[in-house]
């Protein structure tokens, strides 16, 4: 695939995240106006809600964009998703005949506030990156027992919280929790001292499955609407004390940040990549009929208050052992129904090298090996640090970018039960 040319000049730049090939879905507002649906193109947002209201975009008998979220479009199904892309591509392509009408509905990105792009039904987080699982397992249980016996057979996951999923730019407050290090007799209640990120991709379910019936991996792939960058903020000290026997709970419940643009699966098609070779064969219901991962370059930047950013990790989504389609298929094996707007976190995406680790826990090896940043070192996140995730599939002269997923960690409440 090569760059599709647009009359929006900034969409033709090699450096833009949002060429005509991308057309990611977001929700935005300007000034005091109500949030509405838009598609990013170069340095602009095309106001999809306004185009539909004026009859310039018609996808269904009933309006889909009179609400400030993309769930109704998702519910309408894959044919309508494709129709949206076809109609918007025709409007924005170089030489488009209605340019003079469409131009009125472009809003500069710089003037817009971005909001949550969809209503989240439920959120499930997985643990499907082999390098991450091996690193964490080695730290917690030793190299011999790094991967649990089930790990190579099922994508391990837990049901997370949809209520604390926030859009990029939202500040994240350092949580309090029960902590007990090995040298303590009894736990204490205190602000987390080992607050961390997890670099992940989020898959957004765009079509439901029926209660009582599992779906195949191919059906699961077809149900996915698109992908976002996802930061699963994690309090390692809370996690270490609480996680046995039922898995993470409060350690992961403070916040989960996502990037504001949903990159539709259709935009990622040219970048499909296979999962790595299987060490042991998967049972038939988890085998993939084709490549289900994507080649997406990822990086994490850390910026201290008033300082400059250091890129602390570079990795790729294709490092995952399990795809989102496999995770979604596994999620339904019990007969569990999946809904429009369900969000699946991939699990931390670490690569094989030290520089490609997707969490500070791994980068600092549990705090034992602090790593260098501009003007200092880090083991875990310090107050007022800003963490920024970036990602893009890299094409020939263009990139399918996700924008940024950023969050600043602000100090813990002085007294958690003292209302402001
Ligand atoms: Ca996670």
Mean of all residue pLDDT scores within the chain: 97
Residue pLDDT, tens place only, 142-198? 999 899 999 999 999 999 999 999 999 999 999 999 999 989 999 999 999 999 999
Does the pLDDT value for residue 380 go beyond 70?
yes
pLDDT for residue 420: 64
**What average pLDDT does range 357-374 have in this prediction?**
97
Cα→Cα distances 214→211, 219, 286, 333, Å? 8, 10, 11, 5
CA–chain centroid gap for 163, Å, is 16
Distance 12 CA to ligand 1 centre (A): 35
The CATH number that domain 9-115 falls under is: 2.30.30.230
Residue pLDDT, tens place only, 293-340? 999 999 999 999 999 999 999 999 999 999 999 999 999 999 999 999
Distance 127 CA to ligand 1 centre (A): 6
Does the pLDDT value for residue 138 go beyond 80?
yes
CA–chain centroid gap for 64, Å, is 24
Distance 67 CA to ligand 1 centre (A): 30
Distance 355 CA to ligand 1 centre (A): 19
Residue pLDDT, tens place only, 211-228? 999 999 999 999 999 999
The CATH number that domain 123-410 falls under is: 3.90.850.10
For the question of residue 115 being annotated catalytic, the response is no
Check if the beta carbon of residue 390 is closer than 8 Å to that of residue 301: yes
Sequence-distant (6+) residues with CB within 8 A of 94 are: 5, 6, 7
Cα→Cα distances 252→189, 231, 385, Å? 17, 11, 19
Domain boundaries, the chain: 9-115, 123-410
Catalytic residue among 105, 132, 330, 331: 132
pLDDT for residue 376: 96
Residue pLDDT, tens place only, 4-63? 999 999 999 999 999 999 999 999 999 999 999 999 999 999 999 999 999 999 999 999
Pairing, β 123-126 against β 113-115? unpaired
CA–chain centroid gap for 16, Å, is 19
Distance 105 CA to ligand 1 centre (A): 38
Residue pLDDT, tens place only, 69-88? 999 999 999 999 999 999 99
């Amino acid at each position: 695939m090569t760059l599709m040319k647009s009359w929006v000049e900034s969409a033709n730049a090699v450096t833009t995240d949002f060429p005509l090939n991308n057309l990611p879905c977001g929700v935005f507002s300007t000034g005091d106006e109500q949030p509405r649906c838009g598609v990013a193109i170069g340095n602009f947002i095309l106001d999809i809600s306004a185009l539909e209201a004026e009859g310039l975009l018609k996808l269904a008998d009933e309006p889909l964009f009179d609400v400030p979220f993309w769930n109704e479009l998702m519910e309408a199904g894959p044919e309508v998703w494709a129709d949206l892309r076809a109609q918007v591509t025709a409007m924005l392509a170089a030489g488009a005949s209605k340019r003079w009408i469409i131009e009125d509905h472009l809003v500069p990105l710089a003037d817009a506030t971005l909001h949550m792009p969809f209503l989240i039904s439920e959120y499930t987080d997985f643990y499907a990156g082999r390098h991450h699982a091996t690193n964490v397992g080695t730290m917690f249980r030793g190299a011999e027992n790094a991967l649990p016996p089930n790990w190579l057979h099922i994508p391990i996951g837990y049901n997370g919280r949809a209520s604390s999923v926030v859009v990029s730019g939202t500040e994240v407050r350092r949580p309090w929790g029960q902590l007990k290090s090995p040298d303590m007799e009894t736990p204490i209640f205190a602000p987390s001292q080992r607050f961390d990120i997890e670099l992940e991709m989020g898959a957004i379910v765009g079509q439901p499955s029926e209660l009582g019936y599992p779906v195949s991996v191919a059906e699961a792939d077809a149900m996915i609407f698109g992908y976002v960058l996802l930061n699963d903020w994690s309090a390692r000290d809370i996690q270490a004390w609480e996680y046995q026997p039922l898995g993470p709970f409060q350690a992961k419940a403070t916040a989960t940040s996502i990037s504001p643009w949903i990159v539709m699966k259709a935009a990622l098609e040219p970048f499909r990549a296979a999962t790595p070779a299987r060490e042991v064969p998967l049972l038939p219901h988890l085998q993939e009929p084709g490549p289900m991962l994507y080649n997406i370059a990822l990086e994490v930047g850390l910026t201290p208050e008033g300082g400059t950013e250091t890129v602390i990790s570079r990795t790729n989504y294709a490092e995952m052992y399990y795809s989102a389609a496999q995770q979604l298929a596994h999620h339904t094996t019990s007969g569990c129904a999946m809904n429009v707007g369900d969000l699946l976190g991939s699990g931390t995406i670490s690569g094989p090298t030290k520089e490609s680790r997707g969490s500070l826990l791994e980068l600092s090896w549990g705090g034992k090996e602090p790593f260098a940043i501009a003007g200092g070192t880090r083991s875990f996140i310090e107050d007022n640090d800003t963490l920024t995730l970036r990602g893009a599939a890299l094409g020939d002269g263009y990139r399918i970018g996700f924008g940024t997923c950023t969050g600043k960690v602000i100090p813990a409440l002085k007294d958690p039960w003292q209302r402001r």
